[in-house]
Structure 1
């Protein structure tokens, strides 16, 4: 124990409740209190603090992010301020009852507010109209706390209940409620019942009913360790040191204690009365606190030199029982974030531990000049020189006499290879996103989503489902740093690609049980792409191998399809589709489709039909088992007749840019095609990738772009334009073509499953007949419009498109009604001609 330090207080506020918070860089210290002032102190400076007067009543809480600070008040308001200018930016929320606690998410994108109202709200700092509301609590909420990875939010009610919510989507889910652990308190009482997450995220600390601090495991929700017998009264506040090595507690008994988290022993003891709020400096060996007398103290050199410092590049493990990391510091990976002047954080993309976070998607070839002028000689359009002239325009500039053309040829060859390389499509995993704020989606489809968060020496993976009655969300610690994943209703597939000379690895986990999970390590190969279906696991490697396993881990097939680099792959049941770069350097894509169960090839190195300047954004099978792609132009295409060699063709189902939504900053993230609808995430504000928490998914009707301006005309027709006009006709024509395509897809699948017409089941025949009848109704509507408007030629053509006898008879009545005698005679001849077919 050291001698009591003599510290001169700063009088920041009048007597009453006080709170404080450090800025992320440790340069500023903000305090709030009952005199309605926000005071911003400069650390290690004797200058007067900057004062802000904003709220109309006592200020009850303050929180900081890298760029902002926020306050909440008894007047029921929460306000966002700029850390740089100290100016108010937004009124985050206003409610009728006091707001007692406020905190930022780790990435600073969300602010959580809690108070006497039973609803806890999360407000987006960039768009305050985006609000997530947690399910109602029984009583008011005194504290709210984000998990270090931002995936969880813990709340502490005045009735003593702790609730932990998963906020990985915009529909929060209560995953754990702990009752009877913390004491019941009044909302205005000084005693703290908050949840303080340890910096490594594996446990949290809270105060129990015997006035001790206990730790609770995040994995089991069991009590692990106890910081006991330190205080003789309730604890008003407590905080982990930045590296998790120490815990500071401030009690109503007038003591401030500093505990060693690994031994739960007291290493420092100080006597200060009426302490309400305590905070560690994030960059220095100092501790600050405020009292109910409005005083603010800072204890410098709080941890003696003989002990480990409270800050640094190492995170100490949570104090857990049977913790394999106990006693050993876990190396802290520098968190990615926006650069600041302190140099404490590197900009996003400057990644540590040999993992380049930008490699997932690479740079976009379409941006800027994509031919490198690496020797400063200027761009040369022709790769082969004109031997007849030194000054040939093919060289792009004159060459002096005696110029070494061998060097030019070598340079041109190098440039040619650079161009070819940049025209190649980068490999990607469907449904995955790049890293942002230390988080990313590994998989995102119509079943659910898998996302990962960077921790210290590992990642934390969360698997969530849209249908929560199908499977429950689960989490696990990822020590292999998986960078690819697939998700189905039965299982999840993970892969670490094995870049930077590391071995690659796959891991298959069935939902709800680890018993049947399995893994496999590949030596000397990089995993390029993976796919998972209800029956197969597909792994494509850098050596051109395609390996196929069943869900239980037994190998089914291995083959080398070609040496062209794999771009992506997808699977459905026993079918596997693999997309590769074309080997001619044209920048095009080719695909192959196999049935791996019967070792059959349906399509071999056929072309993926997307424009040259476009990129493939996603690849998946529809819920009916038809291959689909989505390109960077926002076009959704489906592959028809893919079971017949040389007959496959890509058919556009939807052009999202032609839907007439009039929002140029809007884009769509594909999830799948189900029941003839395009399931997607709508991204606004120029966003390219879904953010966390996940926005609510949307369903878009399929609308084939048969006319360039069809969607706008359709919209005009819907708003009440002439129902007999061209827009209504176009709408019916699109419906006819769409239903015809969907019917053909259904027929192809039914015939393939049954082995031909003779093997069709009665329900399949009934479904086809039902769809044909629906198409005929659309044709009859078009026929009526054609007859009414005197389009005789079009009417004749429509008659030949009708399937059913009863539809032809209805067409005959329409022709007679409009006195088109020759058309009626043609229909009668058609009825006689098809009489045998109708029997």
Structure 2
């Protein structure tokens, strides 16, 4: 690393938000700030900058083209100025809410304007009456960025969503929405969620939720590379060098880092606090930045002389995993983006838009449930075994010309073979098969553990979605671990002990080996492991469940049955074990124990997975409720699991009924966090996440009341209609969903309080939360009641009244009944009110 340069700052503005932009030719540097001034510096000159007073409030953004510069302000205005005369030429937009960002198209003919309003406007610089309005976003928009060829525009809204619009015509088209990648931010926050297109246009950079910069392929919209573990806090700004060979990032941790884009390694770092905006000089080896103290710095000779300078007419390829241009040091700028006079929507030139990624695992996968071994040469017919592994007809698995009874009598071991085929094989939740010498050992809402196959060992990497919580680490794995479980504080690894080898488990805390421990098991394999905040669980091929504390001391060992363990999960002191049912039906059963107090909550109850489906994941939600996910794409939660004989599986989401209309799409569960299904969406028929990890997504829970809502009568909710309209279906789903979540919360709260005294024994904040949720449910019921009364559905209205929790909601229901002159309903509500009063 180079010695820190001593640079004298220029005090361009008073303390507060500051932004800067170079002119296209690099002769001028413009800054804006909270003192409502536009300062125009002449590069390489000590002269005082030219100052322009125009806006009535803080100036939040500045952008430049060859002939103009534009600014936007908290006062809701965006203005266009002549670069030559510094005079304002036009007011581009005036609106009531602040404008946060502004950007010129590459040809300078259009200006994109974004702010607290949910729409983005494109204004023509030659005719400001020509305005293109992009479709509304869910929240205000913080950043806008043009693709180098001008045909695409990226927007970043406050909810973290990135939208890519095609603007090659004056009717913009939404090309892609990327959600769950960038952090949700306040519009006034310093943290950046912008999109920065690489100069060659084949990828863009953005900040993810773990405070790393990642690149997204323009061709596949998938994550390509990561500039990771550089900053200890959020990143306030970042910028590609003009030739695309370097990336500058400025963090809230007081560091500016310079990265090599091809290796993603840091080549230099600088310590400057409160940096808000960074920008490379377009044709000199220097970097300028501003701080929240109103200072403006310029670092000369930012790239060492022994390396290529960050400017010139050639640009390096974007950092892609499978780059057709790998091995080529640089390509001509004109071959990629065309000249800088390219018009609005000029077609993309020579280089392909994206890499041709091979997402196939290359693994031949046979569904063994559909095969019977023909080991005696008798000619078994495999396709007569049902896909679900059940024996559903006398002819199943028969020899040609023989009845099933004859075959069964003479081939008992054949029947045993069938039964074994119907057993679920053990699996480790969150793990994937090998692909190209790599696989995930664990993958959940905390992070992921992946391993790379070497000649004599493996290399294991432990990564986290929240890099502020833990730093990524690696180690050499000589024991060839094939299972892992990950929590926020530690990781548990296991070698299953196949091929006659002893099995082994290894525990280590993140960031320290001081308290790590390992155990070897002789003569038995390990089928599944689980780690929680208090326990480590190891299930063996002999049916034993061993439970250790986090210091490696055994605290429980038990074997509830000889049926084989399929998988396990743990949360705090609770351990859930899923086993084969053992009766040849192909079913699964589960048990839940509190190992701290040696209590059994549920024992050998059925796991509700259909016979023609497979259990693919088992985990506890963030709130501590057991969840399963099956191969049909259904997510279920176990309600009332703390009460013996009361547990039941409730579907929270059917991913195939979400109306996404993509038969090749599947979902890999990560967990349930704050009532959201955290998952990875797999495209193109993929069954497993590949490396590098695709973008994670958060899906709203939506209880599948009807298997196919498109077949439910959805006539308009008009006066006199007795049919449920689409609004009714949505409200009914919301009511059911909120009730399920309320019951889960009540169960958890009552358990935490010891259960004594029922809800009266809860803490005040728990009672307040229950009351708040009940009030929300009542609002939904009142909406349903309003529709029922308006459409004359008397019977439905009577039933809805009994679903109301609160007295004030009943009083509101009475007013609704009176409004629609439903006197009998009003009388029933009055009786219900009297009953609750006494």
TM over 0.5: yes
Give the Cα separation in 1 of the matches to 2:214 and 2:775. 51
Aligned with 1:657: secondary structure? Answer: helix
Question: Which string of whole-angstrom CA distances, capped at 9 and with x for unpartnered residues, describes residues 79-117 of structure 1?
Answer: xxxxxxxxxxxxxxxx99799xx9xxxxxxx999xxxxx
Unaligned runs of 5+ in 1: 1-74, 77-94, 103-109, 113-118, 145-152, 164-178, 195-238, 240-275, 278-336, 339-346, 350-357, 383-390
Q: 2:267 aligns with which of 161, 170, 175?
A: 161
Residue 769 (structure 1) aligned with residue 771 (structure 2): yes
Tell me if the contact between 2:224 and 2:692 (Cα under 8 Å) persists in the aligned partners: no
1:350-499 equivalence runs, <5 A: 363-365=366-368, 369-379=370-380, 398=401, 412-499=411-498
1:550-699 equivalence runs, <5 A: 550-699=549-698
Larger Rg: 1
CA, structure 1 residues 136+96, in 2 after alignment: closer, same or farther (shift >3 Å)? closer
Aligned with 1:515: secondary structure? Answer: strand
Give the Cα separation in 2 of the matches to 1:645 and 1:128. 48
Tell me if the contact between 1:713 and 1:727 (Cα under 8 Å) persists in the aligned partners: no
Aligned-pair RMSD on alpha carbons?
4.2
Aligned with 1:514: secondary structure? Answer: strand
Question: Which string of whole-angstrom CA distances, capped at 9 and with x for unpartnered residues, describes residues 772-821 of structure 1?
Answer: 11111111111111100000011111111111111111110000000000
Aligned with 2:500: secondary structure? Answer: coil
Give the Cα separation in 2 of the matches to 1:158 and 1:421. 49
Give the Cα separation in 1 of the matches to 2:264 and 2:500. 53
Question: Which string of whole-angstrom CA distances, capped at 9 and with x for unpartnered residues, describes residues 362-402 of structure 1?
Answer: 84345xx42233434344889xxxxxxxx9999765579xx
Give the Cα separation in 1 of the matches to 2:743 and 2:834. 26
Residue 184 (structure 1) aligned with residue 186 (structure 2): no
Question: Which string of whole-angstrom CA distances, capped at 9 and with x for unpartnered residues, describes residues 14-60 of structure 1?
Answer: xxxxxxxxxxxxxxxxxxxxxxxxxxxxxxxxxxxxxxxxxxxxxxx
Aligned with 1:793: secondary structure? Answer: helix
CA, structure 1 residues 726+141, in 2 after alignment: closer, same or farther (shift >3 Å)? closer
Give the Cα separation in 2 of the matches to 1:668 and 1:395. 37
Residue matched to 2:158 = none
Tell me if the contact between 1:160 and 1:181 (Cα under 8 Å) persists in the aligned partners: no
Give the Cα separation in 2 of the matches to 1:820 and 1:785. 13
CA, structure 1 residues 810+434, in 2 after alignment: closer, same or farther (shift >3 Å)? same
Residue matched to 2:787 = 785
How far did residue 825 of structure 1 move?
0.5
Tell me if the contact between 2:775 and 2:806 (Cα under 8 Å) persists in the aligned partners: yes
CA, structure 1 residues 607+668, in 2 after alignment: closer, same or farther (shift >3 Å)? same
Question: Which string of whole-angstrom CA distances, capped at 9 and with x for unpartnered residues, describes residues 495-541 of structure 1?
Answer: 11111011111111111111111111111111100000000000000
How far did residue 441 of structure 1 move?
0.6
Give the Cα separation in 1 of the matches to 2:260 and 2:515. 33
Residue matched to 1:820 = 822
Residue matched to 1:148 = none
CA, structure 1 residues 763+519, in 2 after alignment: closer, same or farther (shift >3 Å)? same
Tell me if the contact between 1:158 and 1:184 (Cα under 8 Å) persists in the aligned partners: no
Residue 799 (structure 1) aligned with residue 801 (structure 2): yes
Give the Cα separation in 2 of the matches to 1:590 and 1:680. 25
Tell me if the contact between 2:449 and 2:484 (Cα under 8 Å) persists in the aligned partners: yes
Tell me if the contact between 2:199 and 2:243 (Cα under 8 Å) persists in the aligned partners: no
Question: Which string of whole-angstrom CA distances, capped at 9 and with x for unpartnered residues, describes residues 479-506 of structure 1?
Answer: 1111001111111111111110111111
Give the Cα separation in 1 of the matches to 2:641 and 2:263. 58
Give the Cα separation in 1 of the matches to 2:539 and 2:776. 43
Structure number with the bigger relative contact order (C-alpha 8 A, sep ≥ 6) is 2
CA, structure 1 residues 736+715, in 2 after alignment: closer, same or farther (shift >3 Å)? same
1:90-129 equivalence runs, <5 A: 127=220
Aligned with 1:161: secondary structure? Answer: strand
Aligned with 2:551: secondary structure? Answer: coil
Tell me if the contact between 1:442 and 1:452 (Cα under 8 Å) persists in the aligned partners: yes
Question: Which string of whole-angstrom CA distances, capped at 9 and with x for unpartnered residues, describes residues 536-595 of structure 1?
Answer: 000000011110011111111011121111100000000000000011011000000000
TM-score by length of 1: 0.57
Tell me if the contact between 2:241 and 2:310 (Cα under 8 Å) persists in the aligned partners: no
CA, structure 1 residues 633+728, in 2 after alignment: closer, same or farther (shift >3 Å)? same
Give the Cα separation in 1 of the matches to 2:533 and 2:568. 15
Aligned with 1:617: secondary structure? Answer: strand
Q: 1:808 aligns with which of 807, 810, 828?
A: 810
Give the Cα separation in 1 of the matches to 2:555 and 2:723. 58
Give the Cα separation in 1 of the matches to 2:264 and 2:664. 44
Tell me if the contact between 1:491 and 1:511 (Cα under 8 Å) persists in the aligned partners: yes
CA, structure 1 residues 160+442, in 2 after alignment: closer, same or farther (shift >3 Å)? closer
CA, structure 1 residues 815+162, in 2 after alignment: closer, same or farther (shift >3 Å)? same
Count of aligned pairs between the two proteins:
528
CA, structure 1 residues 452+829, in 2 after alignment: closer, same or farther (shift >3 Å)? same
Aligned with 2:511: secondary structure? Answer: coil
Aligned with 1:834: secondary structure? Answer: helix
Tell me if the contact between 1:139 and 1:157 (Cα under 8 Å) persists in the aligned partners: no
How far did residue 473 of structure 1 move?
0.9
How far did residue 830 of structure 1 move?
0.7
Residue matched to 2:511 = 512
CA, structure 1 residues 500+823, in 2 after alignment: closer, same or farther (shift >3 Å)? same
TM-score by length of 2: 0.57
Residue matched to 2:762 = 760
Give the Cα separation in 1 of the matches to 2:801 and 2:204. 63
Give the Cα separation in 2 of the matches to 1:729 and 1:417. 52
Aligned with 2:579: secondary structure? Answer: strand
Tell me if the contact between 2:408 and 2:414 (Cα under 8 Å) persists in the aligned partners: no
Residue matched to 1:3 = none
Give the Cα separation in 1 of the matches to 2:794 and 2:814. 14
Give the Cα separation in 2 of the matches to 1:790 and 1:502. 73
How far did residue 406 of structure 1 move?
12
CA, structure 1 residues 476+794, in 2 after alignment: closer, same or farther (shift >3 Å)? same
Question: Which string of whole-angstrom CA distances, capped at 9 and with x for unpartnered residues, describes residues 588-626 of structure 1?
Answer: 000000000000000000000110010001000011110
Residue matched to 1:50 = none
Give the Cα separation in 2 of the matches to 1:690 and 1:712. 33
How far did residue 412 of structure 1 move?
2.5
CA, structure 1 residues 634+715, in 2 after alignment: closer, same or farther (shift >3 Å)? farther
CA, structure 1 residues 130+769, in 2 after alignment: closer, same or farther (shift >3 Å)? closer
CA, structure 1 residues 737+407, in 2 after alignment: closer, same or farther (shift >3 Å)? closer
Tell me if the contact between 1:503 and 1:524 (Cα under 8 Å) persists in the aligned partners: yes
Residue matched to 1:293 = none
> Which has the larger displacement, 563-572 or 709-718?
709-718
